[in-house]
Amino acid sequence: MGKLEGKVASIIGAAGKDNMGQVIARRFAAEGAKVVVSGRHEEPLHQLAQEIDGDWVLCDLTRKSSVESMIDTVTQRYGRVDIAVNCTGWGLLVPFTENTEEELDRMVDLQFKGPFFWLQKLISTMESGGGSIIQISSATAKIMLDDHAAYMGTKAGTDHLIRCVANQYGENGIRANSISPGITETPMTSEAMKSPALEETFRKCYPLGRVGTSDDIAAAAVFLASDECFMTGQNLQVNGGLTLRRNPLGTEIYDAMVAAGEVSV
């Protein structure tokens, strides 16, 4: 019997092939949950739902009405939402002084306003029966990475939203926690990770000697989603000890790539 047997899980941000949301969905299904995956693209959601004997619902996290409709649909089909995971994100890398208003608006919509509306709806949905809410955050909400300010700031803000929910709605049986990966092998980082020099520069910052995988994050999510978890309002640093140290500086990454002949001076 799986750790999530009989649970209904809603995962948003699972429309990218083999992204973190999809890996978590597969792990939850393997642990016995009925998984409903959401995102903006129908075909990959449909394929994943078939693969894991689950379900899917289109949802655009940046639109409040879409978020509310998605959660209502899951509730109507399955009677409740026991577990909700938000895996959405946009890995924007732009120098601080060059961030445009359009980029900042898009980032806030996706990584702060959207999660805010998602949490509001989940509270009203879970307040009578409880449940587990899991937000995928980032190690960079605590430690620095060059040219990543808009991403980092919104992730840090959402970590505090999780703490607010945990503090105020724990009496309703709602647990709310976040997970902070470091650089992780996902489709979002696939281009960067093609550079052996970049991967090696990051790897040296990890006490456990390797960068993370989506499977590492999925394992932590299973614990937070399970009835074994007596934890709320916490941010789990599932990043091999990266936050004991730091991310490499942009100049260190560049110098390593030059030394490896991956870029020319």
CA dist., res. 29 & res. 14, Å (int): 14
Helix H or strand E encompassing 220: helix 214-225
Query: Phi then psi for 136, rounded to 5 degrees?
Result: -85, 115
Catalytic residues: 151
CA atoms within 13 A on the CB side of 158: 37
Which residues in 32-51 are b (16+ Cβ under 10 Å) and which e?
Answer: ebbbbbbbbeeebbeebbee
- Buried/exposed code over 147-180 (b: 16+ C-beta within 10 A; e: otherwise): ebbbbbbbbbebbebbbebbeebeeeebbbbbbb
